[in-house]
Amino acid sequence: MPGLIAPTGFREYDARWVLGPDLDLEGVETLGLALATLLHELDSPRLVTGHDFRSYSGDVKSALIRGLVAGGAEVHDIGLTLTPIAYFAREALGVPAVAMVTASHNENGWTGVKMGAHPPFTFGPEEMARLKALALEGGRIERPGGHVVTVQDFAERYQAEVASGPKLSRPIRVLAACGNGTAGAFVPEALRRMGAEVIEMDTDLDWTFPRYNPNPEDRVMLDAMAERVRETGADLALGFDGDGDRCGVVDDRGREIFADRMGLMLARDLVADHPGATFVVDVKSTGLYRTDPVLAAAGARVVYGMTGHSHMKRAVAAEGALVGFEKSGHVFFAPPLGRGYDDALVFAREILRLLDRAGGRRLSELEADLPQAFTSLTMNAHCPDTEKYAVVERIASEYRALAAAGGTVLGRGILELVTVNGIRVELEGGAWLLVRASSNKPELVVVVESLTSEADMRALFHDEVKPRLAAHPEVGGWNQEV
């Protein structure tokens, strides 16, 4: 120790590095010792660890555990697992903290750790800043008493809980797409326990990800799911990311339903039993929540908050919300439906139960009940970690100046600037655009929505946002475009 550990890997609410250029195993040990020191400061030096299925994740976890043990932590290791299973384990085992080794949906080469000290929360900016200081600037304290408890076959307890409650009254045909990621080891069995008829797609574990990266926001995965739905006649497809905390949805027609829109369908259904419920949605989500007549008639309250799993967990708790929805597919069901953290299988279960209650109506029919909106994929433009926040602030300043001068965006006046997380520009006619800094990669995140047409949605991107960002030399290529 201390080894190689790049400062840019400490992000808003978790840690991500490219293994090799940015982080070595000695650096991971340093991170483990720093985390143990922080957990002692937080009076939570007992934690659950687990790892995802990548060729190097086991080695990274072993190095992390060496540092944790050196720092006097009691480590309960559950082995190969999903992030929601690790979250569940700390509550089921009575262990307050968690450190899950995962790069989530990031490409091969990336590694990282999702951490938290008090269920159901994970670290936010304050804890991450303290962890960064301990790891890079010293203050790490070695302590005696650290040890490892190996927990065998824990997934069985999780699967029993996530599938508990009423079983489906009919065998809904579900295409389960896992992108050869870790979810393939756990998802099909859990869905079958819920009563679904499961068609498996790319569920064999293969850390090379031979077909596509397991990211249900990416067009390649969504297109593969859509094609298979049309081939099999499945009722829907559910796509799971690399560590199982996000779920994407494709309906019976082979069309994707983004998680924010799927969330609105669920919210409409849930308010029948939970009138006056509060829902939290992130700033990337559709504006239809503001105007939905069903939610309004039920006295529901909708709060827009910051994107990011740690921010959303805290917002759901602070607002006393029933559910929090993120466009990326992170969904946070509070009691009695869930435990307050993001779990793709709980989201999947509630979608299946919605369909089961629908009296034979198909998912596409339920989706057609919603007002029309044309929302883009989540698009990412490369921007260095050291520059991305400054670039977003300059973009925000441009829009503030434009609004102050009474200017327009593609002929529409600016109604509101939402700055809780980047800049969301609300326009006349219900359209909006968002530019924010990614919390886990060197990228800017862009979403646009029109209530008029798909062509107008594309124009918002190609004629407004893309050229505006191109004027900033720090902004590079795009991962996908509409």
Which residues are identified as catalytic? 104
Query: What is the rounded CA–CA span in Å between residue 264 and residue 366?
Result: 11
**Of 189, 179, 173, which Cα lies nearest the Cα of 224?**
179
119, 121, 122, 126 alpha-carbon torsion, rounded to 10°? -120
Biggest CA–CA distance in the chain, Å, is 66
Residues 55, 379: Cα–Cα separation, whole Å? 28
CA 455 to chain centre: 28
